[in-house]
Amino acid sequence: MDAVLSETNNLAKEIGNLMKSGKKDEAEKLKITNAELKEKAKILSDKLTPLEEEQNNVLLRLPNLPHASVPEGKTPEENIAVLEWGKTPALPVDALPHWDLIKKYDIIDFELGNKITGAGFPVYKGKGARLQRALINFFLDEATSAGYREIQPPILINQDSGYGTCQLPDKDGQMYFMNEDKLYLIPTAEVPITNLYRDVILKAEDLPVKNAGYTPCFRREAGSWGADVRGLNRLHQFDKVEIVQISKPENSYELLEDMKKHVQGLLEKLELPYRILRLCAGDMSFASALTFDFEVYSAAQKRWLEVSSVSNFETFQANRLKLRYKVDGKTQLLHTLNGSAMALPRIVAALLENNQTPEGIKLPQAISKYAGFDLIN
């Protein structure tokens, strides 16, 4: 293919020279030869293009390879708990789940959300709204102290960005899509913040890159409605602070540990009992090589709620993003990592349930400082 093109290029040059020196007849002859070559090239490229497209389509649908430390398994039951922290609070027998508490104290309103939007879009009111704001500020300040640069990205993204972080084609149909403008509502800040570095070649001395941002997140959750989705457990719109790192391949797992520690610190300051799971291969997302999930124990529901997911994507996203750096004059793919730090709704659920008292809900100090109140009553 390239050889044929090379020949046509050379002939075109020759024709140019002949035309200049006035040898029109010879030039005309070459034109015919070249036309034949072009035909050949077209046939070759007609064969090549569909093959390349097919290869591309297959590759786009191939998930990442799990890291060697990922346990085998297909279902969440096969995830492995690697750490547990904190004590389950002893609640009175009449302890309420959060969906009752939010009504009792009138702080989150699903019916109003239903009216103005639909199911899964709650309205936060009064101390409920202020608690949201407090948590967001708390999480962002903690990220800043940990060396992350705060980013406020757009919450609509284009198709290229969707492919960059691998939500597309895998999660097509799970994102809200504006057909008029061909834009998607982000399911996580990971998408815009990581895509800042699409088609970028970084300098080695700028690594690692650490960014964090708060955004609302939107998920259609098509097909996942059913049991265990009451109250704040699963929403179409929720708030989240996301931390994102870009790393040299050799230290990405070290950084993953740092991110894990950061999330642990947040939960400990919030005084919420939690555990960390090493996800089994079957429960990991499409793009991830290794994922740790964080779950807090919701005492009134008597169940674990996922509040954070920290992953190393190795070169999987970087390959699609064309995110690279230079080593010894050669370009090399970087590693991308991200983690929720953290998603609000289930944190709120656990805070409400675990801290309920006859007087009201007593907020831990870390958050009452931000909220400006320590009791919801």
By CB under 7 A, name the binding residues for RNA: 2-3, 5-6, 8-13, 15-16, 19-20, 31, 34-35, 38, 201, 322, 324, 326, 331
Which residue's CB is nearer to RNA, number 159 or number 357?
159
Distance between CA atoms of residues 98 and 131, nearest Å: 14
> If DSSP codes are grouped into helix, strand and coil, which group holds residue 249?
helix
Name the minimum Å distance from CB 30 to RNA: 7
Which residue's CB is nearer to RNA, number 23 or number 67?
23
Which residue's CB is nearer to RNA, number 8 or number 237?
8
- Contacts of 148 by beta carbon, 8 Å cutoff, 6+ apart: 210, 211, 212, 243
Query: Cis link prior to 71 (omega < 30° from 0)?
Result: no
Distance between CA atoms of residues 297 and 318, nearest Å: 34
- Contacts of 178 by beta carbon, 8 Å cutoff, 6+ apart: 156, 184, 185
Name the minimum Å distance from CB 164 to RNA: 15
Which residue's CB is nearer to RNA, number 34 or number 298?
34
In terms of Cα–Cα distance, which of 145, 207, 146 is closest to 333? 207
Name the minimum Å distance from CB 260 to RNA: 31
Name the minimum Å distance from CB 56 to RNA: 12
Which residue's CB is nearer to RNA, number 19 or number 281?
19
Please count the CA atoms within 13 angstroms of the CA of 95 that sit on its side-chain side: 20
Which residue's CB is nearer to RNA, number 87 or number 182?
182
Name the minimum Å distance from CB 336 to RNA: 17
Name the minimum Å distance from CB 311 to RNA: 25
As given in the structure block, the two tokens for residue 69 are 């430390």
Which residue's CB is nearer to RNA, number 13 or number 261?
13
Name the minimum Å distance from CB 176 to RNA: 19
For 315-348, letters b (16+ CB in 10 Å) and e give bbbbbbbebbbeeeeeeebbbbbbbbbbbbbbbb
Name the minimum Å distance from CB 183 to RNA: 10
Please count the CA atoms within 13 angstroms of the CA of 249 that sit on its side-chain side: 16
Is residue 306 within 8 Å of residue 346, measured between CB atoms?
yes
Please count the CA atoms within 13 angstroms of the CA of 134 that sit on its side-chain side: 23
Name the minimum Å distance from CB 101 to RNA: 35
Neighbours of 195 (CB within 10 A): 23
Which residue's CB is nearer to RNA, number 326 or number 369?
326
Which residue's CB is nearer to RNA, number 9 or number 117?
9
Length of the chain: 377
Neighbours of 182 (CB within 10 A): 9
Distance between CA atoms of residues 144 and 357, nearest Å: 33
